[in-house]
Amino acid sequence: MSVTEARVEKIGTDEATGYSSYRFGSFTFSRDEYFAHVSWPRGNHIIEIDRFLRAMVRDIGWGFFYGWIFFDDIFGTTNHYGTVDVFAGTYDRGCKEAGIDFLETYSAEAVSEAFETISKDWISEGYDPLNAPLETGSPIGPKGKERTDPLLRSFIAADRMLGLPGDKSVRTEEDGFGINRAFADMEFDQPDIECEPGFEGQLHAINLFDHIARSDITWNPSISAITRANICCVTSEEHMLPVIHGNDRNEWFIQLTDEIHWNIADKNSGAPRGRVVMKAGDVCAMPADIRHQGFAPKRSMLMVMENGTPGLEQRYASGELKPYPVKFEA
């Protein structure tokens, strides 16, 4: 894989809308009041601006995540952990057959810088792509006032058990994190903690539902528990996952409340493979060879378990490991 040396550069500013256009490697990015336009040497593509921005800020915030992030069926990124592919049409049968697909590989840092520069220019005050659509404004229209609050909120790993002295990650009313409107009917009893003498400050328990109910963002884990390569993310999900995720390893989902509908397709061709409706209490393992997108009609709570072991993606890609974790015999 050859890595293209590239840095994002501004190539102009539209006087009517106030938005700038950018070149990054062989790609150019521009936006108008409704759409993002992406072009590359053999083609170009148009994406509705809300979808584009909701995907882009998550892609940066997740550090390009595991495997493939499709902004839509055509455009996206693939994480090689250090380098990142930016692709257009590479995993779309129609584009492949028409010969207009294109892919370039850059350092992860250069892609981060490019996406951050574009997002900052194209997002104005009053619109937060990490919020549920019902809880934020619209990105449609000309450029507005620049946002001053943090635009990007990435994975934060808890330093220690949430709520223990020294932990600053647990969400509380006092920190300004109220219970989300969607969870107003839930009860949030706090656990009783009876600690043996000598273990004070080491044993603790929280109501995890209470913590998740206070998350102000969607499809983005606010706090993650990370123990070596084991990553546990709890998130609140509402509306649709703004990207289609192509797995490069298994990924476990535990549906904690309400329901999420998943569209599951072949990772390479996009051909449909299944529809899964997960309801509270359901557990599933998304295989390593699929792409998937979730739809949450009402805000719901999801726990995602990831295996961050380095090199695991190659063991799945080579076929050494089966794409699913368990085989059930008939």
Q: Should residue 250 be labelled a site residue for Fe ion when binding is judged by CB under 5 A?
A: no
Burial class (CB in 10 A: 0-12, 13-18, 19+), 195: exposed
Q: Should residue 249 be labelled a site residue for Fe ion when binding is judged by CB under 5 A?
A: no
Among 36-44, 118-126, 239-247, 275-283, the segment contacting Fe ion (CB under 5 A): 239-247
Q: Return the residue of 247, 250, 257, 300 that touches Fe ion, per CB under 5 A.
A: 247
Q: Should residue 251 be labelled a site residue for Fe ion when binding is judged by CB under 5 A?
A: yes
Q: What is the DSSP string of 194-227?
A: -PPTT-TTT-----HHHHHHT---SSS-SEEEEE
Identify the residue whose tokens are 């001053």: 148
Distance CA 207, CA 9 (A): 47
Q: Should residue 245 be labelled a site residue for Fe ion when binding is judged by CB under 5 A?
A: yes
Among 3-11, 207-215, 245-253, 254-262, the segment contacting Fe ion (CB under 5 A): 245-253
Find out whether 37 and 45 touch, Cβ atoms under 8 Å. yes
Shortest distance in whole angstroms from residue 81 CB to Fe ion: 16
Shortest distance in whole angstroms from residue 253 CB to Fe ion: 8
Q: Should residue 306 be labelled a site residue for Fe ion when binding is judged by CB under 5 A?
A: no
Shortest distance in whole angstroms from residue 245 CB to Fe ion: 4
Q: What is the DSSP string of 80-107?
A: -SSEEEEEESTT-HHHHHHT--EEEEEE
Give the helix/strand (H/E) hosting 78: strand 75-79
Cβ closest to Fe ion, residue 215 vs residue 247: 247
Distance CA 5, CA 266 (A): 31
Cβ closest to Fe ion, residue 107 vs residue 263: 263
Q: Should residue 218 be labelled a site residue for Fe ion when binding is judged by CB under 5 A?
A: no
Cβ closest to Fe ion, residue 17 vs residue 307: 307
Shortest distance in whole angstroms from residue 119 CB to Fe ion: 22
Report the length, in residues, of the chain: 330
Q: Should residue 58 be labelled a site residue for Fe ion when binding is judged by CB under 5 A?
A: no
Using CB under 5 A, list all residues that contact Fe ion: 245, 247, 251
